Chain A
Amino acid sequence: MKIAEVEVKENYLLKIEGLKKHFALSANIFGKTTKSVKAVDEVNLYVKKGETLGIVGESGCGKSTMGNTILRLIEPTEGKIIFEGRDLLKLSPKEMQKVRRDIQMVFQDPFSSLNPRMRVFDVIAEPLRTHGISKGKELEEMIYGLLETVGLDRSQADRFPHEFSGGQRQRIGIARAIALHPKLIICDEPVSALDVSIQAQVLNLLIKLQKELQLTYIFIGHGIPAVKYISDRIAVMYMGEIVEMASKEKLFSSTKHPYTLGLINAVPVPDPTLRDARERIIIENDIPDQINVKEGCRFYSRCPFGTDKCKTEKPSLIEVEEEHFVACHYPLT
């Protein structure tokens, strides 16, 4: 069954259908786009309540663009984003503003995503004030509570962001995101800019908060180890498309797409005894030109198993086992 035909089920919090975002590069004299970068091209996926869906892919695969389109921070070209039964792309700006209460974001760079002129207190208070949740004494208590929830001290509320380290800033970003009790948090590479020992702290904090507040996460990352650690299900993106989506266990134990396998094999294993013992499929070459995308499977130019069919015919994302989707003519066994 193609993923596009999967029905919206009761426990789906979010379902994305046929999402596209093409950035126009040039147009002819009538204003019609002639050249474009297909940053996101036909993305279909669903997120269940209370789970973490990890999205991995290399730089330029469109994962961050996709994250931004969900909140309509970037307007998508085409597609449906169904959140709790409503298509977000059909909402008016006012209605969209209300939805943003339920969907929050944590950004990659904790140095540029916090306003340097605002005190930590105001950074966290801003969403609460914007949505008119609380004010005065009550607001103060809420913010101190939030700071403690993310492992900071209430005495730090009057400081400015530059006084904090990267990990602490990311905690502030998380406090801001959970302030409104959202249903869904989109984490866009929240640990990529942090040191290894601090990464683990932030990942463990996210997991703790998920349990306590019944949150649902979309966790975007380029490092498979971190995504693997936090996710229940994982979707692998390559050049604007999802090539494989499955539960974490299935994705690693019965990998179906050659790209996924190459990606897993490329991660250096922190165990020197396995250095030469591992048999590896290594993907050669680089990501091809993203402007003049050739027909057929996008991975064809780097795939060790490509055939003539792959060159001409594009595979669609199909359910090969229960909840294991893959876009490949010849899935691995």
Chain B
Amino acid sequence: MSEKLLEIKGLSTHFFTENGVVPSVNNVSFDVNKGEIVCVVGESGCGKSVTSLSILQLINKPGRIVNGEILFKGTDLTKLSEREIRKIRGNKISMIFQEPLTSLNPVFTIGNQISETIRLHQNVNKNQAKMKTLEVLKKVGMPNPEKQYYSFPHLLSGGMRQRVMIAMALSCNPELLIADEPTTALDVTIQVQVLRLLRDLSEELQTSIVLITHDLGVVAEMADRVVVMYGGEIVEQNNVFDLFSDPKHPYTKGLLNSTPKIHQLDDSLESIEGNVPTPANMPHGCKFNTRCPFVMNKCREEQPPLIDADNGSEVRCWLHLEKEAVSS
């Protein structure tokens, strides 16, 4: 049995705006084991980014975690003071964001920014921090690190900037890395390099990764386990192989069918009808009922619970519950 590093239990994050409460994340629970890569996948507005920000207590007003626990090695992060959480951020848990240019400070050299992180969390002097920085830059495949140490962020290309972000995130050997769409702003030829780097590092250092993405291709490439989100909730959770070979929730099926398959010549593409509902006009009952091809009356009336299915998977669909009732 592998060790649980992070347990999210019943997390709800709501935003209290002038126009009412927006429930961005509702009752989300999942675990991350040591050395495991968990992908959280969903479309824009499904709450995947808010979930990842909630882990590190990075939700700003008017947002607030209203419910739930986030246990990191047994410690509930939601209960920590600002001072205590800062010791964990960037040290034991670090984060990579989508747009590397806005995440880096334009007026400091990259070496300066990485060694700052190291000096903040580790008891080392300036020189040792520089040596560590060069080491970690080399590890992420930065060509000519001695020279790049003194470069400013704007001189680097998108792929190189993202490497700097990864280097910074890894500089304190974190146990958990949260990557929020780390390759969305990058070209495919660069994306493949960055993804490969993340996977190699995870294997080498036994770092767990929570990877937030909208791209099922990236999921297939990276994940051990997958969490599918829709409308602020988990709709399905499974290991990556079963999720792709036997998707249980109609939304997961639709998402798979609407992803063009580059490796097959026969390419029919089905789409999910309708639009992603905004948090302000979420339908009653199952959140997917306005777009679901198998919608029943019950779906419009009552919200289905997350049901345990076979092999440790979970699915939130009435259809699945009925199937089980028939077979048992």
Using a CB–CB cutoff of 8 Å, the interface residues on chain A facing chain B are: 58-59, 165, 167-168, 195-201, 203-204, 222-226, 228-229, 249, 252-253, 262-275, 282-284, 286-287
Out of A168, A196, A270, which one reaches B244, CB within 8 Å? Answer: A270
Shortest distance between the CB of B99 and any CB in chain A (Å): 14
B189-A270 in contact (CB<8A): no
Q: Which A residues lie within 8 Å of B271 (CB)?
A: 197-201, 204
Q: Which B residues lie within 8 Å of A272 (CB)?
A: 219-221, 223, 240-241, 244
Out of A165, A224, A249, A268, which one reaches B192, CB within 8 Å? Answer: A268
Of A197, A204, A275, which is in contact with the most chain B CB atoms at under 10 Å from its CB?
Answer: A197
Q: Which A residues lie within 8 Å of B260 (CB)?
A: 200, 225-226, 228-229
Q: Which A residues lie within 8 Å of B273 (CB)?
A: 201
Out of B219, B259, B276, which one reaches A165, CB within 8 Å? Answer: B276
Complex: A198 Cα to B254 Cα, angstroms: 11
Give me 16 A-to-B residue pairs in the complex whose CB atoms sit less than 8 angstroms apart, sorted by A's number: A58-B189, A165-B275, A165-B276, A197-B255, A201-B272, A201-B273, A204-B269, A229-B260, A268-B191, A270-B220, A271-B263, A273-B245, A274-B220, A283-B189, A284-B193, A286-B159
A262-B263 in contact (CB<8A): no
Nearest B-chain residue to A203, judged by Cβ? B269
Shortest distance between the CB of A248 and any CB in chain B (Å): 9
Chain A binding surface, main DSSP class = helix
Complex: A286 Cα to B148 Cα, angstroms: 15
Interface hits, B158-201 → A, CB 8 Å: 159-160, 187-193, 195-196
Shortest distance between the CB of B37 and any CB in chain A (Å): 11
A229-B258 in contact (CB<8A): no
Out of A200, A266, A268, A275, which one reaches B258, CB within 8 Å? Answer: A200
Q: Which A residues lie within 8 Å of B160 (CB)?
A: 286
A198-B215 in contact (CB<8A): no
Interface residues on B, range: 35 or more
Out of A59, A270, A273, A282, which one reaches B217, CB within 8 Å? Answer: A270
Q: Which B residues lie within 8 Å of A167 (CB)?
A: 275
List the 4 closest pairs (A to B, CB-CB), nearest first.
A268-B217, A200-B271, A225-B260, A200-B258
A200-B265 in contact (CB<8A): no
B195-A269 in contact (CB<8A): no
Shortest distance between the CB of B275 and any CB in chain A (Å): 5
A196-B221 in contact (CB<8A): no
Interface flag for B128 (CB, 8 Å): no
Residue-by-residue, is B239-277 near A (CB-CB < 8 Å gives 1, otherwise 0)? 011001100000000111111111101010111110110
Out of A204, A222, A225, which one reaches B259, CB within 8 Å? Answer: A225
Known A200-B258, A201-B273, A286-B190: A267·B217 in contact at CB below 8 Å: yes
Nearest A-chain residue to B243, judged by Cβ? A272
Q: Which B residues lie within 8 Å of A204 (CB)?
A: 269, 271
B262-A197 in contact (CB<8A): no
A275-B220 in contact (CB<8A): yes
Known A226-B260, A228-B260, A272-B223: A197·B192 in contact at CB below 8 Å: no
Of B256, B260, B269, which is in contact with the most chain A CB atoms at under 10 Å from its CB?
Answer: B260
Q: Which B residues lie within 8 Å of A283 (CB)?
A: 189
A270-B195 in contact (CB<8A): no
Of B190, B214, B223, which is in contact with the most chain A CB atoms at under 10 Å from its CB?
Answer: B190
Interface flag for B157 (CB, 8 Å): yes
B157-A287 in contact (CB<8A): yes
Q: Which A residues lie within 8 Å of B257 (CB)?
A: 200
Q: Which A residues lie within 8 Å of B187 (CB)?
A: 58-59, 222
Interface flag for B44 (CB, 8 Å): yes
